Amino acid sequence: MKQLNSQQTFYGGRFDYDNALIRLDELNALSQDSNLWNDAAKARKLMSEKTQLEEKLHNFEHLVSSLDELKELAELADADNDENMLTDIMSQLESLKTEAGRQELEALLSGEVDANDAYLEVHAGSGGTEAQDWAEMLLRMYTRWAEQHGYKVEYIEETEGDVAGLKSATVKICGHNAYGWLKSESGVHRLVRISPFDSAARRHTSFASVGVYPVIDDDIEITINEADCRIDTYRASGAGGQHINKTDSAVRITHIPTGIVVQSQTSRSQFQNRDNAWKMLKSRLYELELKKREEHEQSLRDAQSDIGWGYQIRSYVLQPYKMVKDLRTGAETSDCKAVLDGDIDMFLSAALAGKVGKE
């Protein structure tokens, strides 16, 4: 049985356990400095690094100890010729292998905002009720994924469809590496199925777009000229209580130079909705700069296989056969139900591994 080394290779990178312990000791000493919080931005950065390093060490040590325990159990089961125990140990090893693979990929989430929370937007494409129902299905898929991984989901904006589904929705997904995992989901998602809204039971194709943006820390400077923005207030159209639906508490901000539009309506307070909208706009503008930088680097690499942001990235076919296929990585599965219930890790992992392979 293979033993994990103190230096674990991650797709060309390396988690150096011994040096990680040394660095953690340094961070612990720095965190005890009474003058640390004189520079709040520096202190937050240091404490964030400390927390993330502690988590990586804990996860690595858990893998090593679990593997050692299973090795001992396997030796006992082998001595006793206990086939049932050996079968159970093999199952646990597979689970451990899956977790190790996820940690390998997560170690690659080293972008400057990969560790941040994420805003996720879903917009129905053309096609009326069909597309609006598909947008709601996608939102459910992502919220289920988030809940399964221990992330917190906050609803920021939700505009109901004319008959069913959603015209648009924005959620904030809170948790370590939320943006890093979900950033590859931006693009157009295509659904093919027998329409539940068609009395003739014909097959329909629907489209919805997904946008993922990092939640920006307060210490990152993003300058927004308020003269470049149009601020509108309106009555919320979705769920949220009688107070919301009877007052102009919802806020929409349009950034005129870029055409970016953000809106928030879930709070009863117009002030809170305005604050949320400004934060979202800051996030969108920062993500736009990241996108420009990435496109520039991509043009230098001249990698023709990548599909740009905003293009179709994944196809979900429920009829005449069942298949979910990512058009960028080739990852696919026939278990459509599991995918729509939030089991999208195979697509997230394939996108991350593929991107790293090009760098």
Chain segment 131-188, per-residue pLDDT in tens = 999 999 999 999 999 999 999 999 999 999 988 999 999 999 999 889 999 999 999 9
The pLDDT assigned to 4 comes to 44
Instruction: Quote the mean pLDDT of the chain.
Output: 83
Instruction: Name the stretches of the chain with pLDDT < 50.
Output: 1-13, 240-246, 297, 300-310, 356-359
Using the Cα atoms of residue 237, residue 240, residue 245 and residue 250 in order, give the sign of their dihedral: negative
The pLDDT assigned to 219 comes to 56
Q: Which of 66, 69, 50, 127 is nearest to 100 (CA)?
A: 66
The pLDDT assigned to 353 comes to 82
The structural domains of the chain, ordered by start, are 7-106 (1.20.58.410), 118-358 (3.30.70.1660)
Output the pTM of the full model: 0.66
Environment class of residue 345 by beta-carbon count within 10 Å: exposed (0-12), middle (13-18) or buried (19+)?
A: middle
